[in-house]
């Protein structure tokens, strides 16, 4: 009898030792709507985790994070290994949010558009005022950002693009029901690879990096690579699909021809202005009536660049069969007199 009692005692002791403790904590202890709440799972056993956060959201991570979008009191439940007996429950109170602003992007690069949006909790539709502010730049430096021409500095959103790498501060003042909150954030803006247009005048060489419809300011270029590309650039001999085209030969078709480039079965040529035609000379159309002093084709961006007495211009390649185009030429800069243009694909 004593032996049986001893065995039962040992069994109960072993069962007690194997009892699983299901528990969790969360930080911060007084979270606000929109703030990340981190849950720490302290359960002593288990392989499967089932969290319900009380707002319709769930997670299967061992120690998840969650953001409550609305203030209120929520019932958080942790169930381990799908066992109803292995659960832990806590009430969490989420307080009203502090105004902030967010962007869908986490990394920022020069010459890309970004949208920043005010984020605040206003369930009672109080009157709200917004005022975005940016630090003033040194008088001797280029601005590190630009605002779209139609931008409203007093709306809930702000659209920017940055023109130089480095740290940039953005601020927002929110006045909600008479209470003022200032939010400031520091962004790290990175440089990025892109193509360049090289231009030679009678004085020196220049470079302008191109970012879609935007471009950096013109700067003097003393690089060996830029000089080599401009030295090599010419529009009197072109090889296209294995065939060599020479200026002297093409003058029989294009009387008065001064220079040309070929791409996509189109010939762009200098002759009393700038023209485009099919490679056989059919459907000639004038792009620019002013005397063209230099031109080049960028076959990566599918653009033609040319120079006249007012500066440097560009437009997309012409694609129609009859060479009619809809896009009007866009002025890139006012650099004159340009005698050579080349495209640089080195990306820097």
Is residue 40 domain-resident?
A: yes
Count of the separate structural domains present in the chain: 3
Residue finishing a domain among 54, 73, 94: 94
Is residue 142 domain-resident?
A: yes
The answer on 336 and 199 residing in a single domain is yes
pLDDT digits (tens, 9 = 90+) for 205-258: 999 999 999 999 999 999 999 999 999 999 999 999 999 999 999 998 888 999
Q: How confident is the model at residue 10 (pLDDT cuts 50, 70, 90)?
A: very low
pLDDT digits (tens, 9 = 90+) for 286-329: 999 999 999 999 999 999 999 999 999 999 999 999 999 989 99
- The CATH number given to whatever domain includes residue 174 is 2.60.40.10
pLDDT digits (tens, 9 = 90+) for 103-142: 989 999 999 999 998 888 776 788 999 999 886 654 455 6
Is residue 222 domain-resident?
A: yes
pTM metric for this prediction: 0.69
The answer on 337 and 219 residing in a single domain is yes
The answer on 230 and 113 residing in a single domain is no
The answer on 147 and 55 residing in a single domain is no
The answer on 61 and 146 residing in a single domain is no
Residue finishing a domain among 190, 223, 252: 190
Q: Which range of residues forms the domain containing residue 323?
A: 195-344
Is residue 64 domain-resident?
A: yes
The answer on 241 and 331 residing in a single domain is yes
Is residue 306 domain-resident?
A: yes
The answer on 223 and 178 residing in a single domain is no
The answer on 301 and 213 residing in a single domain is yes
The answer on 262 and 227 residing in a single domain is yes
Measured between alpha carbons, how far apart are the two ends of the chain, in Å? Answer: 90
Tokens of 118: 């005010």
Is residue 14 domain-resident?
A: no
C-alpha–C-alpha distance, residues 19 and 17, integer Å = 6
The answer on 34 and 70 residing in a single domain is yes
The answer on 165 and 61 residing in a single domain is no
């Amino acid at each position: 009898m004593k032996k049986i009692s001893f065995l039962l005692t040992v069994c109960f002791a072993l069962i007690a030792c194997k009892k699983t403790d299901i528990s969790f904590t969360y930080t911060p202890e007084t979270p606000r709507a929109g703030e990340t709440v981190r849950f720490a799972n302290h359960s002593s056993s288990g392989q499967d985790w089932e969290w319900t956060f009380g707002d319709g959201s769930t997670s299967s991570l061992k120690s998840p994070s969650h953001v409550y979008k609305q203030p209120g009191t929520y019932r958080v439940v942790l169930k381990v290994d799908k066992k109803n007996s292995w659960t832990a429950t806590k009430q969490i109170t989420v307080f009203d949010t502090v105004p902030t602003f967010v962007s869908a992007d986490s990394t920022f690069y020069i010459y890309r558009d970004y949208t920043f949006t005010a984020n605040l909790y206003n369930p009672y539709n109080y009157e709200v005022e917004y005022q975005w502010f940016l630090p003033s730049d040194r008088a001797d430096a280029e601005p590190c950002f630009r605002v779209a021409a139609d931008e409203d500095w007093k709306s809930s959103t702000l659209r920017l693009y940055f023109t130089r790498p480095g740290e940039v501060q953005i601020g927002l003042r929110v006045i909600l029901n008479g209470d003022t909150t200032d939010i400031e954030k520091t962004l790290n803006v990175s440089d990025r690879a892109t193509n360049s247009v090289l231009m030679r005048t009678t004085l020196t060489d220049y470079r302008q990096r191109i970012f879609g419809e935007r471009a950096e300011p013109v700067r003097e270029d003393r690089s060996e690579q830029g000089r080599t590309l401009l030295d090599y650039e010419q529009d009197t001999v072109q090889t296209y699909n294995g065939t060599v085209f020479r200026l002297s030969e093409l003058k029989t078709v294009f009387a008065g021809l001064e220079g040309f480039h070929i791409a996509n079965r189109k010939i762009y040529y200098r002759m009393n202005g700038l023209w485009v035609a099919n490679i056989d000379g059919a459907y000639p159309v004038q792009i620019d009536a002013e005397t063209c002093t230099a031109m080049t084709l960028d076959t990566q961006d599918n653009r033609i660049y040319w120079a006249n007495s007012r500066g440097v211009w560009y437009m997309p390649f012409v694609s129609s069969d009859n060479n009619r185009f809809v896009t009007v030429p866009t002025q890139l800069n006012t650099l004159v007199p340009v005698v050579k243009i080349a495209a640089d694909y080195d990306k820097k």
